[in-house]
Amino acid sequence: MENGDRRRSEDYEELDRLLLGADEALENEDLRRTNEALKRANVKAASMWGEVGQPALPGHTRRLIGLIWEVQEDLNSAERNSPDGLRQNLRELRSRFEIEARRDTEEANL
C-alpha cells in the first residue's frame, strides 16, 4: 500500500470521533454542528488518503462528501431530510471506515 504509512490507527480513531460527534449533533437535530463535524471529518479523511494536489479518495470518503451536501441542503431548506436517514448513512460510513482501518492494520502487519 502506497499511503499505508500515513493511515495509522490514531488517524482512524480521530476520524471516528469526528463522525461520532456528527452523529450526536444529528441526534440533537443540530444541523450546523453536524455540518461542521462532517467538514472536519472530510478534511481528516482527505489527509489520510489524498496525494498532494490529487486526492485518491475511496468510495466511502466520497459518500462522506455527499452526506455533507445533504446536510448543507437541509440547512438552507424548509423541507429537511429525516435525521434518522442521515444518521443511518453516517453509521454506514463509520462502519466502512472501521473495515478500512482493519484492512490497513492487517496489511501493516504483513
Q: What's the DSSP call for residue 102? A: H
What pLDDT is stored for residue 1 in this prediction?
40
What pLDDT is stored for residue 52 in this prediction?
54
Q: What's the DSSP call for residue 30? A: -
What pLDDT is stored for residue 107 in this prediction?
83
Beta bridge partner(s), residue 54: 51
What pLDDT is stored for residue 59 in this prediction?
72
Q: Which regions in the chain score pLDDT beneath 50?
A: 1-4
Tell me the C-alpha distance between 13 and 82, whole Å. 27
Domain of 38 in residue numbering reads as: 4-108
Whether the CA torsion 109, 55, 53, 16 is positive or negative: it is negative
What pLDDT is stored for residue 36 in this prediction?
94
What pLDDT is stored for residue 2 in this prediction?
46
Q: How many domains does the chain have?
A: 1
